[in-house]
Structure 1
Amino acid sequence: MRVTCPHCGSKAIITSRENVADNVSELYCSCSNTKECGATFVTSLAFKHYLNPPRGDTAQLAASLIKNLPNNIQLDLLGL
């Protein structure tokens, strides 16, 4: 992950991190362009959503859906 300075666009260095909530952190950063900028700032990092859910979650969801189907449909899905 690359953080850039919001002022000059140079690469920034993450100096520390503070978790503020589940899946949300504040990153304390400093601009690496110390001669011309030298800004320090705080930016947020948050989990938004999955593009592909974890495999275990997908299998568990599928099993739960199948268990709620009538027995004849479950057997049909299995080819029996």
Structure 2
Amino acid sequence: MKVQCPHCLSKARITSRNEITTTVADLYCQCMNTQACGASFVMTLGFSRYLNPPLTSTQRLAAHIIGSLTKAQRQELLQGDLFH
């Protein structure tokens, strides 16, 4: 993971990390441009969204949808006739 100094835009390194929650962490960083900047700062790293949901979520959703179908609709689905 690359981190950039918010002041001089030079590369920065992560010196430590503090987990706030399972999806949010504070990253303690130090600018590598020690001649002109040398800033130390904290960036927050956080989960935003899934691009592809976890398999367990997809399976749960599919099971719920299939469970709400009638027996005839389930049979059609298994035969592949439902979407034709």
- Do the structures match in fold with TM over 0.5? yes
- Hey, what's the Cα distance between the residues in 2 that align with 1:36 and 1:72? 73
TM-score by length of 1: 0.90
- Tell me the number of residue pairs that the alignment of Structure 1 and Structure 2 aligns: 80
**Cα offsets for 1:4-29 (capped at 9, x unmatched):** 00000001100000011230000000
Q: Which residue type is aligned with residue 24 of structure 1?
A: V
- Hey, what's the Cα distance between the residues in 2 that align with 1:69 and 1:30? 57
**Cα offsets for 1:18-57 (capped at 9, x unmatched):** 0112300000000000111000000000001001112332
- Hey, what's the Cα distance between the residues in 2 that align with 1:34 and 1:70? 68
Aligned residue runs from structure 1 range 1-80, under 5 A: 1-79=1-79
- What is the Cα-based RMSD across aligned positions, in Å? 1.4
TM-score by length of 2: 0.86
| Secondary structure of residue in 1 paired with 2:28 | strand
Gaps of 5+ in 2: none
Q: Which residue type is aligned with residue 33 of structure 1?
A: N
| Secondary structure of residue in 2 paired with 1:43 | strand
Report the CA distance between 1:67 and its aligned residue: 1.3
